[in-house]
Amino acid sequence: MKFPIAVVLALLLLGQAGAQLLPYERYESDGIPPDVYRERRLHLVASHTDRAAILLLSADVRNRQNDVDYEYRQNSNLLYLTGCTEPRCALLLVPGGFTWNGTHSTELFFIEPRNPDRETWTGIRMGPTEAERVLGLRPALEYSALKEVLDSLLRHRDTLYIASGLPTPSVELPIAGTRIEVEQLLRNWLHERFPGLILRTSLRTLAAMREVKDAHELRLLQKAIDITLDAFEATMRNAKPGMAEYELEAIMEYHFRRAGAEDVGYPSIIGSGTNGCILHYQTNRRTTRTGDLVLADCGAEYRGYTADITRTFPISGRFSPEQRQLYLLVLEAQDSAIASAQVGAPFRATHRAAESVIARGLMELGIIESPNEVRRYFMHGTSHYLGLDVHDAGTYGSLRTGTVITVEPGIYIPPGSPCDPKWWNIGIRIEDDILITDSGPVNLSARLPRHPDAIEALMNASPAAR
| d(C-alpha 312, C-alpha 331), whole Å | 11
Q: What angle do CA 296, 432, 345 make, to 5 degrees?
A: 145
Question: Residues 216, 318, 391, 466: which is the catalytic one?
Answer: 391
Tell how strand 52-57 and strand 159-162 pair up.
Answer: parallel
DSSP-derived pairing of the beta strands 52-57 and 89-100: antiparallel
Partner from ligand GLY, Mn ion, none contacting 456, C-beta within 5 to 8 A by type: none
Told to check if 203 binds ligand GLY by CB under 6 A, we report no
Closest C-alpha to 118, from 200, 260, 12, 39: 12
In the complex, least distance from residue 331 CB atom to ligand GLY, rounded to whole angstroms = 17
Residue list 264-283, contact with ligand GLY (CB under 6 A): 266
306 binds Mn ion (CB under 5 A): no
CB of 208 to ligand GLY, least distance (A): 21
- Can 335 be counted among the known catalytic residues? no
Q: Is 432 in the site for Mn ion (CB under 5 A)?
A: no
Specify the stretch interacting with Mn ion by CB under 5 A; choose among 96-104, 112-120, 319-327, 423-431: 423-431
Window contacting Mn ion (CB under 5 A); options: 158-166, 182-190, 301-309, 321-329: 301-309
Residue 390 binds to ligand GLY (criterion: CB under 6 A) = yes
CA distance 434 to 455: 20
Q: Which H/E stretch holds residue 40?
A: helix 34-46
Sign of CA dihedral 188, 193, 199, 205: negative
Residue 221 vs 367, nearer CB to Mn ion: 221
Contacting Mn ion (CB under 5 A), which of 112, 130, 132, 297? 297
Considering the complex, state which of residue 106 and residue 443 has its C-beta at the smaller distance from ligand GLY: 443
3-state class (DSSP) for residue 50: coil
Write 167-172 long-range contacts (CB < 8 A, 24+).
167/57, 167/58, 167/59, 167/60, 167/75, 168/60
Tell me if 334 contacts Mn ion by CB under 5 A: no
- 297 labelled catalytic: yes
Q: With contacts defined by CB under 6 A, how many residues of the chain interact with ligand GLY?
A: 7
Binders of Mn ion in range 224-263 (CB under 5 A): none
Is 249 a binding residue for ligand GLY by CB under 6 A? The answer is no
Contact partners, residue 274, CB within 8 Å, separation at least 6: 414, 415, 425, 427
Task: Determine if 430 is a binding residue for ligand GLY (CB under 6 A).
Answer: no
The answer to the question of residue 45 lying near ligand GLY (CB under 6 A) is no
336 binds Mn ion (CB under 5 A): no
Q: Which amino acid is at 227?
A: I
Binding mask 276-315 for ligand GLY (x = CB under 6 A): ---------------------x----------x-------
In the complex, least distance from residue 374 CB atom to Mn ion, rounded to whole angstroms: 19
Long-range contacts of 437-444 (CB under 8 A, 24+ apart): 437/343, 437/401, 437/402, 438/343, 438/401, 440/342, 441/338, 441/339, 441/341, 441/342, 443/338, 444/221, 444/222, 444/225, 444/404
355 binds Mn ion (CB under 5 A): no
Q: How far is the CB of 310 from ligand GLY (least distance, A)?
A: 6
Selecting among 67, 151, 369, 420, the annotated active-site residue is 67
Establish whether 214 is a catalytic residue: no
Name the active-site residue from 107, 217, 247, 297: 297
Q: Report what 266 binds from ligand GLY, Mn ion, none; CB cut-off 5-8 Å by kind.
A: ligand GLY
Catalytic entry in 37, 384, 389, 432:
384
Omega into 139 within 30° of 0, i.e. cis? yes
CB 156 within 8 A of CB 61: no
Please report the sign of the dihedral spanned by the C-alpha atoms of residue 208, residue 209, residue 210, residue 212. positive
For residues 323 and 413, the answer to whether their CB atoms sit within 8 Å is no
Q: Which residues contact 388 (CB under 8 A, 6 or more apart)?
A: 76, 79, 80, 210, 304, 305, 306
Candidates 77, 268, 406, 445; binder of Mn ion (CB under 5 A) is 406
Interface with Mn ion includes 308 (CB under 5 A)?
Answer: yes
Q: How far apart are CA 188 and CA 246, in angstroms?
A: 47
What H or E segment, with its residue span, contains residue 413? strand 410-413
Tell me if residue 191 is catalytic.
no
Q: Which residue is nearest to ligand GLY (CB)?
A: 297
- The residues binding Mn ion (CB under 5 A) are 297, 308, 406, 431
Active site members: 67, 280, 297, 308, 380, 384, 391, 408, 412, 429, 431
- The residues binding ligand GLY (CB under 6 A) are 266, 297, 308, 384, 390, 408, 431
